[in-house]
Amino acid sequence: MVDTVRIGILGTGFGVRAMVPGFHFTPGAEVVAICSGRLARAEAASREHNIPHAFDDYRAMLDQVEMDMVAIVTPVSLHHPMTLAALEHGCHVLCEKPMALNLGEALEMYQRAQAVGVVHMIDHELRFNPTRRRLGELLAQGYLGRVYHVNLQAFVDARADPQQPWGWWFSKAQGGGGLGAAGSHHVDLLRWWLGELVAVDGRVDTLIKQRPDPQTGEPRVVDADDYYFFQGELASGARVTVEASYICRPNKGTRIEIYGEKGSLILDADDRLWGMQAGDTQPAELTVPDPLLDTPGVSTNVWSRSFIYQAREMVNAIREGRGVGWGATFRDGAQTQAVLDAVRQSSDERRWVEVKTLA
């Protein structure tokens, strides 16, 4: 059994906001290196969080620092080369979602990780949220019986300001856009709770088509999506409808409604779970309190709290030489990527598209 898992983090956005604190609250984990495309940012994170090594070149970090695990929290276009490089060094890998730019990249990452024999996980931390886990348990126990249909709406204001400066998130070539950022989470939860999506009919759109350049202020073209919609069919025959926008004012959050022969389960925008079965006169609250919610030093953000549970699971899996439990593996990431690719193809061709199923 490994005593301490030495971790390198590629990326100083979510990597610093959530991952560094998450590993801090994980016994047996030590962040030993951090890398950013801008050395000043890596050095600032290094000083603030007492991380021994700072780099602006991930290859140099892999060559010069002894690490057991690498967390990749960069623009999506870098996930594939960075993952392959980390695997070449025999590192276990936690990769941010969406896994890759397309299914071809995702499959190569998955197959290589399997061949090397490392622990691999996609950062779908919401699988570790106690209430979402409870929702999955209720479905597995037959709370709804046969599931008929699911409605998921995510209306947020994260990109609503047209003057928000252009960055990689607004570039399709770099893997930006809402379908990858949020849609990957939506698809992963649906797959985890209810099984595979087998066909989709979707639309992906860019409604704010220009953003100011952060240096010059001149308008730059936006070609990554800020709105998407798709309907889908699950292998069980249940129907799914997903609609999401990043440009809604006011922010309404995310709401998931699941309906079946025995009643309904609803996860509201405040992360509260409600259930109602035939014969009930009012819904019952089924929310599971998060033990980390009032822990000093832990963010109240559901993403950051959920990441701590995920970090603990991955680190323990590495230390104990086992798989990652209910965590999303690279295989899950690749199957989710197949759904995202199918939604984009459907939007381009204006038709239903069958989702490729991994062997």
pLDDT digits (tens, 9 = 90+) for 115-135: 999 999 999 999 999 999 999
Distance of CA 321 to the CA centre of its chain: 24
Domains of the chain: 5-126+304-328 (3.40.50.720), 146-260+336-354 (3.30.360.10)
Query: What pLDDT score does 359 carry?
Result: 82
Number of neighbours of residue 137 by Cβ within 10 angstroms: 12
Confidence label for 2 from pLDDT (cuts 50, 70 and 90):
confident
pLDDT at 295: 85
pLDDT of residue 299: 83
Q: How far apart are CA 13 and CA 17, in angstroms?
A: 6
User: What are the pLDDT digits (tens) for 134-160?
Assistant: 999 999 999 999 999 999 999 999 999
What secondary structure letter does DSSP report for 267?
A: E
pLDDT digits over 202-228, tens only? Answer: 999 999 999 999 999 999 999 999 999
Q: What angle do CA 305, 309, 311 make, to 5 degrees?
A: 105
Cβ-contact 222, 196 below 8 angstroms: no
CA dihedral sign of residues 86, 34, 322, 102: negative
pLDDT score recorded for residue 75: 97
Q: CB neighbours (10 Å) of residue 192? A: 20
pLDDT score, position 22: 95
Give the chain's mean pLDDT. Answer: 97
d(CA 35, CA 265): 42
Q: Span 81-103, mean pLDDT? A: 98
Give the model confidence (pLDDT) of 46-80 as tens digits.
999 999 999 999 999 999 999 999 999 999 999 99
pLDDT for residue 297: 85
Share of the chain above pLDDT 70, in %: 100
Residue 1's pLDDT is what?
78
Contacts of 109 (CB under 8 A, 6+ apart): 79, 80, 83, 84, 87, 95, 99, 100, 330, 333, 334
Name the residue with higher pLDDT: 323 or 1.
323
Q: For residue 6, what pLDDT band results from cuts at 50, 70 and 90?
A: very high
Of the candidates 288, 108, 113, 106, the residue with the CA atom closest to the CA atom of residue 188: 106
Model confidence over 186-199: pLDDT tens digits? 999 999 999 999 99
Adjacency order of strands within the sheet including 197-205: 284-285, 273-277, 263-267, 253-260, 147-155, 239-245, 227-234, 197-205, 353-354
Average pLDDT for 28-35: 98
Task: Identify the pLDDT of residue 298.
Answer: 85
Instruction: Assess whether pLDDT exceeds 90 at residue 294.
Output: no
